[in-house]
Amino acid sequence: MGKIHLTIDGKAVEAEEGAMLLNVARNAGAEIPTLCHNDAVKPYGACRMCMVEVEERGRTRLVTSCTFPAKEGITVTTQSNRIQKNRKMIVELLLSRCYNVPEIREMAAEYGIDVEKPRFQVREDTCIVCGLCVRVCDEVVGVHAIGFADRGPDRKPTPPFMEASELCIACGACVYVCPVDAIKMVQTPEARTIKRWQRTLPMKVCKVCGEPFFPEYQVQYMAKRVNIPEDFFEVCPNCR
């Protein structure tokens, strides 16, 4: 891949050909909000918050910067009235879906939205349907325990048939990547529960210090995936 040259917010920028605009613009100092982006998984463009204006061959259009590759000679604007108007609409729709989610209410206030008098009918959901949980389960963990169900405003991430999936290893990756804390994890010395997926698994206890460190099923999965003897996980990482 060679170097290309483009303009971002009036500043000449050099970037790797094929690099996504979001990272290129952020490296150039631009502030672009995101909800569905995480460097651990492939770009998805679900939340649309990262949209920017791209001028190419005399034509200007809005694109999601996380999925649009940097190109030679294009001009990029990351803040404009058009962009702000569209981002504000997105936040208003998210607020109506997830009215009591603190992260969304805070974002709405930043965009000057009256959180006490939303324009659209309010729902009591907690999930913004960014897809990060589904993608990290597929692309990083590799167990494919959750997917999407339904369409339109009823679309949601869920295990198959909306029941606890035997594929889930309760690793907690989905909990950590969720941008609005919609997936809760409860852990005791005996078990770990991923509440949204209704999955509870017993914990593995370290033979040295006696502290729980991984769910038993996660240990079995990791041992098979990396081809390491299972007794390697009889001791927690701290004691090892």
In a domain, 124, yes or no: no
165 and 71, same structural domain?
A: no
Sheet-wide strand order for 191-194:
185-187, 191-194, 199-205, 212-215
138 and 53, same structural domain?
A: no
Last residue of a domain, one of 79, 94, 118: 79
In a domain, 153, yes or no: yes
Q: What is the CATH number of the domain that holds 65?
A: 3.10.20.740
In a domain, 29, yes or no: yes
Relative to beta strand 156-158, strand 185-187 is unpaired
- Average of per-residue pLDDT values in the chain: 93
Asked if 175 contacts 141 with a C-beta cutoff of 8 angstroms, the reply is: no
Last residue of a domain, one of 49, 64, 79: 79
The upper half-sphere exposure of residue 174, i.e. CA atoms within 13 Å in the direction of its Cβ, equals 32
In a domain, 239, yes or no: no
Structural domain of residue 11, as residue ranges? 3-79
In a domain, 70, yes or no: yes
DSSP, res 163: S
Cβ neighbours, 10 Å, residue 176 = 14
Last residue of a domain, one of 58, 79, 100: 79
70 and 146, same structural domain?
A: no
In a domain, 99, yes or no: no
The whole-number pLDDT of residue 1 equals 62
Averaged pLDDT, 201-217: 91
Averaged pLDDT, 173-202: 96
How many domains does the chain divide into?
2
In a domain, 152, yes or no: yes
In a domain, 54, yes or no: yes
140 and 215, same structural domain?
A: yes
143 and 220, same structural domain?
A: yes
Q: What pLDDT, in 10s, does the model give residues 53-109?
A: 999 999 999 999 999 999 999 999 999 999 999 999 999 999 999 999 999 999 999
168 vs 222: which has the higher pLDDT = 168
